Chains A and B, each alone.
Chain A
Amino acid sequence: GNSVTQMEGPVTLSEEAFLTINCTYTATGYPSLFWYVQYPGEGLQLLLKATKADDKGSNKGFEATYRKETTSFHLEKGSVQVSDSAVYFCALSEEYSGGGADGLTFGKGTHLIIQP
């Protein structure tokens, strides 16, 4: 079955540091890949996504590139801010050959803490 593995935290960085959160996946076909972010006490919201190999998703200074050869979708940001403190989830979704899809398969989440 499908699975997502991401580095577990907490990850603690200073403001303006460079961020990388690793994510690798296992899937039977050609999944779409997502990063969702959860701020304290809230539901998840989409940060970025990529639907095919070599696509780059980007939003709010975050980037991730869909690497089929290494089955990875690592999240990066050049200069983090205190407001980026949250839990980040890597996820995948796969469409069936006959059409249709079920839900997202999530990694366990990475708690990011940015110190001023």
Chain B
Amino acid sequence: NAGVTQTPKFRVLKTGQSMTLLCAQDMNHEYMYWYRQDPGMGLRLIHYSVGEGTTAKGEVPDGYNVSRLKKQNFLLGLESAAPSQTSVYFCASSYFGATDTQYFGPGTRLTVL
């Protein structure tokens, strides 16, 4: 039981490049989330999904897209990376919504030059 895994762990991009971050969970959770963590800002919700085939915007969705084609995977895409997207990205999952514990992945550190 691996829990929540994220690929890659580190990445450096140049401005304007694109990339996809992969999140996978093996706990059969319905809900999945993408957050970004910036110094002094805590974590902020980018996008989330309440089930396979669904996605919704969070607090800071601009510049990102997501897809949930399979229940166990949640992809976060950056179409044209900007330096403001330099951050640590965390994926999380939970079985239920508001009252349930979220399980977090180890994070992806992204630097955009």
- Interface residues, chain A, with chain B CB atoms under 8 Å away: 4, 8, 31-32, 34, 36, 42-46, 49, 51, 89, 93-95, 100-109
Contact = CB atoms under 8 A, between A and B. Distances in A.
A109 B4 CA distance: 22
A89 B43 CA distance: 9
A44 B43 contact: yes
A101 B43 contact: no
B45 A32 contact: no
A93 B42 contact: no
A94 B45 CA distance: 14
B40 A95 contact: no
Contacts of B92: 44, 103
Contact of A95 (B35, B41, B58, B98): B98
Contact of A102 (B48, B90, B101): B48
Contacts, number: 66
A104 B94 CA distance: 11
Contact of A93 (B56, B99, B105): B99
Interface of B: 4, 31, 33, 35, 40-45, 48, 50, 56, 58, 90, 92, 97-99, 101-107
A43 B41 CA distance: 16
Contact of B45 (A51, A104, A108): A104
Given A93-B98, A95-B98, A95-B99, A104 B43 contact: yes
Contacts of A94: 98
A101 B31 CA distance: 9
B98 A44 contact: no
A89 B4 CA distance: 20
B43 A95 contact: no
